[in-house]
Amino acid sequence: MSLINCEITDFTAQAYQQGDFKTVTKQDVLGKWSIFFFYPADFSFVCPTELEELQEYYSAFQKEGAEIYSISEDTEFSHMGWAQQSEKIGKIAYPMLADPTGKLARAFDVLNEEEGLAYRGVFVIDPEGKIQAYQVYGDGIARSAQEILRTLQATKFVAKYGDKVCPAGWKPGDEGLGTGTDLVGKL
């Protein structure tokens, strides 16, 4: 079953963000675009490369009116310890959500129950709290912040211009394609 257009579940999660702890709820997500970025674990190998690259693009996501939420099965205390021990993670400005019970990972169907860790899932959530795009990757495959940003931009474009779609290679500034039958068989 696809999660496209499914509304995210009501949730409350503890988070670490720039030296502080805070609570993040579904209500905090509503009203803006959001990226939910699940990763397996703190103090690991591939994860810090992904989180660091997301930080490098964070201002571009904010320019698009989107917030990034990284999420793992670790606690907010583990996130804080990791940030204090790793220069790369210490730079992260977006909220790092704690999901030690796996409630969020289960709701997004990315929890590896045998290992108690999340798969590498990335979800683009619209301001109404509905999932508009997502991908789930195997453990050893890092994701590209640039592609996640492009996916967000394309998703926003389609939401704004309901009669246009984004072809392969679409990027901001491109017009997109109309959806009329006059294009069928002519592309």
- Amino acid code (one letter) for 150: R
Rounded to the nearest 10°, the torsion over CA 141, 111, 60, 9 is 160
Three-state DSSP state, 34: strand
Q: What residues act catalytically?
A: 47
Strands (E), the chain: 12-17, 20-25, 33-38, 66-72, 96-98, 111-112, 117-118, 120-125, 131-137, 164-165, 177-178
